[in-house]
Amino acid sequence: MTKNETYQNKATAAEKGIHTDFKNNMTYGEYLQLDTLLSSQDRLSDHHDEMLFIVIHQVSELWMKLILHETNAAIESIKTDDLPTSFKRLARVSKIQSQIIQAWDVLSTMTPSEYMEFRDSLGQASGFQSYQYRLIEFALGYKTGHILKIYEKDQELHKILEQAYHAPSLYDVSIQALAKAGLPINPDMVNRDFSKPYEADDSVREAWLTVYRNVDKYWDLYQLGEKLVDIEDWLQQWRFRHMKTVERIIGFKVGTGGSSGVNYLKKVLDQRFFPELWDLRTEI
């Protein structure tokens, strides 16, 4: 018997417990509902690269679903003063963000000429309408009421978005955590109308400065602040890669959803979610 045959026999013996009869048991594909998942890439054109376009956006939506799952769980953990658990969840969000950013590298392999072959098939459908992206913005505190109109077609979805629109964001509950720790926070910030866009506040700035100047005393809050900075940092990197990928593929054309395209994406780069945490870098 050759060495190769001996190795193969040992390998076969070692794996003799592998299950092969699934007549009465659930399979991997059934658990993940792969029949549904892998049959959801319906091209509207015959162009080869439309498959790439669909898969990239579907994968991104799956990652966004997990971002929302973890962010909303982190919000609940912070509400109940369980900051260590929130750190785990927020750290996971940052890792997910690093994955979703890399999706743009794959999409950017498509050239302008290739995209124009099927772009008209999209009609007015656009990533601008991604409701999960809007839920992420709401969860992070960027609230824009006029955007809700896009989703009036689906009353159930509109209800979910409206609820998130009025709910406290990740930053709102973090500010409440500062107040619970005894730091002097303006009461109007703790009990504000959460549907309003957040605006920087001096009491919040001073509270974060106290945390960062007394790390040992406020270690958990310091950790929370850094987790928030991580998330905003990655989000802005995602937005930048989005903007550059769009510019690379369609230049400054108007988006399929009617937005100004690259010009709109450049403007959102100026949006800030946790302003005091960035400003203190200069003051510390």
Binding-site positions for heme: 242
The mean pLDDT value of the chain amounts to: 91
Residue 167 CA to residue 192 CA, distance in Å, equals 11
End-to-end CA distance of the chain: 72
Domain range summary for the chain, segments of one domain joined by +: 47-250+260-282
The CA–CA distances, whole Å, from 192 to 30, 78, 125, 195, 199 equal 46, 18, 35, 9, 11
The CA–CA distances, whole Å, from 94 to 18, 31, 101, 117, 139 equal 36, 27, 11, 35, 15
Residue 40 CA to residue 272 CA, distance in Å, equals 35
pLDDT at 5 over 70: no
Record: fold of 47-250+260-282: Methane Monooxygenase Hydroxylase; Chain G, domain 1 (1.20.58)
Instruction: Calculate mean pLDDT across residues 136-152.
Output: 91
| 161-172 pLDDT per residue, tens | 999 999 999 999
Q: Which pLDDT band holds residue 13 (cuts at 50, 70, 90)? A: low
| 246-276 pLDDT per residue, tens | 898 888 877 676 677 788 888 888 889 999 9
Instruction: Calculate mean pLDDT across residues 32-43.
Output: 95
pLDDT at 124: 79
pLDDT at 7 over 70: no
The CA–CA distances, whole Å, from 149 to 136, 145, 153, 173, 182 equal 17, 8, 9, 27, 40
Binding-site positions: 53-57, 115, 119, 242, 256
Of 133, 122, 92, whose CA–CA distance to 242 is shortest? 133
| 206-245 pLDDT per residue, tens | 999 999 999 999 999 999 999 999 999 999 999 999 999 8
Binding-site positions for substrate: 53-57, 115, 119, 256
Range with the poorest average pLDDT among 107-111, 168-172, 174-178 = 107-111
